[in-house]
Amino acid sequence: MKTNESLLAERNQHIPQGLFNVHPIFAEKARGAIITDVEGKEYIDFAGGIGVNNVGHCDDEVLKAVQDQIQKYIHTCFHVVMYEPYVELAKKLNQITPGNFPKKTMFANSGAEGVENAIKIARHATGRTGTIAFEDAFHGRTLLALSLTSKMKPYKFGFAPYAPEIYRMPYAYCYRCAFGLEYPSCEIHCAYFLRDFFHTHISAEQVAALIVEPVLGEGGFVVPPREYFKILHKICQDNGIVFIADEVQTGFGRTAKMFAVEHFEVEPDITVMAKSLAGGFPLSAITGRAELMDHPQVGGLGGTFSGNPVACRAALAVLEQFKNLNLLSKAEKIGKKVLEKFREFQEHYPVVGDVRGLGAMVGMELVVDRKTKEPATALTKRLINLCCEKGLLMISAGTHSNIIRPLMPLVITHDQLDEGLKIIGEALDELHQT
């Protein structure tokens, strides 16, 4: 029988080091919120394959849809022979994404590809070249998406030159406000700053799109004040700039609404989705105003595997399961419990500098010192490793990798959730004593 150790040795021999691995284990099977490794050890999954398994691992209905589809056909390429699941899913996403206007949807394979297509469409439709992105943003690893991503090491380092015409402004990261202000007396200066930005970085009439995560994912589960996006959106509208919401990580119920922008009451011109859209199958969707989406010429958009029928069928089943399993209200309950527990940790352990969240997207930022807010990067890594040893899988986030970001499947049971939180508490306790 292969062990984690023997597989790791093979992995190291055959696979480049550049592909990071958080945990030294190999999966044998996974169901719901539990992953079993090749040695038979069970782990509670607070990572969800980086936010992909909101409906749980191997959901029965997703499995049924996929099994049915693979008996019929697996790939024809939508550009060669069309198929109904693509059309049906596009129709559904046009209905459920925020925005009370006619919409159209196209599919790609990954979040990064979704982001790239959104930018292409915005450039084509506006005839402009510039894109405004944010500090601490993560939009993917392909070269345009990577250029939009903020974190230098390890993501961008050594991969220059980056795509041109990208301009970056601070995000509404209240715990570490770039302007040294405090909410609410700041009067959301960081959003109105966009107007100054047009004078100092790029003229508004050169900007095709502003792309933003409604809650920073990889950037550390940072939740902006409620007013933030309305202000940004209005400035974009006034200046003919396409407002793109990157809902790749926030989407599909993570924040207890299907899309996080719904909390902020804005209607993006384009919404990008991926991750939990298709229950683990690689699929991204770009949904936007019909007139924008229709702008590029025939053949200007697409890809060989884009909108694979098996992935589309999986996504249709995911949408049904959101209703059947009441996953939005589950997300709310999970979020409440995690927030409560993380706040308890904050009271007990000085290392917990900040706790924040929206729905089940709750983050805990670890610092060496609460006054200086020096990120506790090494300690965060130790915490994650310790939790893994104790049977809980977690990942970190943040430009300094000092934020705990649980992305557990929303089907997690009460007991599993309690046990996972208990393990974090025990690990914090051990680290506190060393």
Ligand X SMILES: Cc1ncc(COP(=O)(O)O)c(C=O)c1O
The footprint of ligand X (CB under 6 A) covers 50, 110-112, 115, 138-140, 213, 217-218, 246, 248-249, 274
Across-strand partners of 167? 132
Is 82 in a helix, a strand, or coil? coil
Shortest Å distance, C-beta 136 to ligand X = 11
Q: How far apart are CA 146 and CA 112, in angstroms?
A: 8
Checking phi first, is residue 252 left (phi over 0); if not, alpha (psi -120 to 50) or beta? left
User: What string of DSSP letters covers 104-136?
Assistant: EEEEESSHHHHHHHHHHHHHHHHT--EEEEETT
| 249/271 with CB nearer ligand X | 249
Nearest approach in angstroms of CB 206 to ligand X is 24
To ligand X, the closest distance from the beta carbon of 37 in angstroms equals 23
Query: Which residue in the shown chain puts its C-beta closest to ligand X?
Result: 111
Other CB atoms within 10 Å distance of the CB of residue 126: 19
Please say which residue, 139 or 233, places its beta carbon nearer to ligand X: 139
Beta bridge partners of 312: none
- Spatial distance between the Cα atoms of 34 and 11, rounded to a whole number of angstroms: 23
Taking the C-alpha atoms of residue 148 and residue 129, their distance in angstroms, rounded to an integer, is 14
Q: How far is CA 280 from CA 5, 74, 145, in A?
A: 26, 16, 21
Q: How far is the CB of 113 from ligand X (least distance, A)?
A: 7
82/152 with CB nearer ligand X: 152
Using the minimum distance from each CB to ligand X, give the nearer residue, 407 or 427: 407
**Distance in Å, CB of 153 to ligand X, minimum:** 17
Q: How far is the CB of 67 from ligand X (least distance, A)?
A: 24
For residue 218, the minimal CB distance to ligand X (Å) is 5
Amino acid at 360: A
Distance from CA of residue 328 to its chain's centroid?
A: 17
**Alpha carbons 77 and 109: distance in angstroms, whole number:** 13
Nearer to ligand X, 217 or 224 (CB): 217
Q: Between residues 156 and 390, which has the closer beta carbon with respect to ligand X?
A: 156
DSSP string, 49-83: HHHT-TT-BT-HHHHHHHHHHHHH-S---TTTS--
User: Which of 266, 428 has the CB closer to ligand X?
Assistant: 266
